[in-house]
Amino acid sequence: MSTRVGVLGATGAVGQRLIQLLVPHQEFEIAALTASSSSAGKTYRDAAKWRVNTPIPDDIADLTVVETDPGAVQNDVDLLFSSLPSDIGAAVEPEFVEDGYVVSSNSSNGRMDEDIPLTIPEINADHLGLLEVQRDERGWDGALLKNPNCSTITMVPTLAALDEFGLERVDVSTLQAVSGAGYSGVTSMEILDNVIPHIGGEEKKMETESRKLLGDFDGAEVNLHDADVSASCNRVPTLDGHLENVWADLEADPSVEAVAESFESYPGVDLPSSPEQLIEVFEEPDRPQPRMDRMLGDGMAVSAGGIESTTHGVQYNCLAHNTMRGAAGASVLNGELLLEEGFL
């Protein structure tokens, strides 16, 4: 029997990608779509300006969009996927959870709250134990789980693999695709023939979220990883796929071959959306590249290449599809983890 799910903020870029991933899903069935009050009451076909590269499924197109309010969503929905803007998410996600809904959220609000799990299932599935702390402290009947920022998700699997060598410091410079800003986030006049060397708030997200993801959960709280993380984030004129240049200082002095092996052998998880190979490694010095490699593992794999030894550790490039692995796919994967661990 399928788990009935809903999408909060269903008309936006990530909401549309969520629908694309959920429609063929074997364990989830879309039962509710929400959006702003101006879209409520319309069919999804009329409410959404569909921009995903597959047609709107007919049964989804004919669903009536409801307002993003707990009273408007039927109570037989087991799981909600949130792709709301962070200010709206901060206001309404707690209301849904107080009403007993379980929410897997891509929205940035609350990611660093001490009692809200921030998870990548392949990296820190044990942090899901924070949900019991969350329920005890907040008195919520439901639960709220977050996935990280798209640029954070791209590099953290590689950092988790490197931690066996004693991860001490990380410097990262990103080349982030325009889809990460949403449909109206960057105009063509801004980005064509240009690179924008600043993305508001992005550096702080990478610098803090990565330490929480790599931290240890002791049953009561997450202790942040000790590594220092410094990020420089840049918007570039690619459509999808965040490419990142990483320098990692390590306690040990591994060979390039040992680093590549640590990436390739890092384990995945047995969930429907998790790729068979979490980190794909290229020997070619000019890979990975967004256009060529963003869809590895159906858009859910991370790829790495250009590995070189440095005075203090290693440098390399890594890439992931920012709206698949980095956003909608990450939320779906967390939803699968919630189902697997009995929270639904």
Annotated active-site positions, please? Answer: 150, 242
Q: What angle do CA 225, 201, 246 make, to 5 degrees?
A: 50
* Cβ contacts of 288 within 8 Å, gap of 6 or more: 243, 280, 282, 296, 303, 304, 305, 317, 318, 319
Phi/psi at 168 (nearest 5 deg)? -115, -35
Q: Cβ atoms within 10 A of the Cβ of 106, count? A: 31
Q: Token match 């609000």: residue?
A: 109
Residues in the chain: 344
Q: Is the peptide bond before 288 cis (omega within 30 degrees of 0)?
A: yes
* Cβ contacts of 16 within 8 Å, gap of 6 or more: 10, 48, 50, 51, 52
- What are the b/e assignments for 230-244, b being 16+ CB within 10 Å? ebebbbbbbebbbbb
Is the separation of the CB atoms in 304 and 256 below 8 Å?
no
Strand partners, 145: 104
Torsion angle (degrees, nearest 10) of CA 17, 19, 20, 26: 130
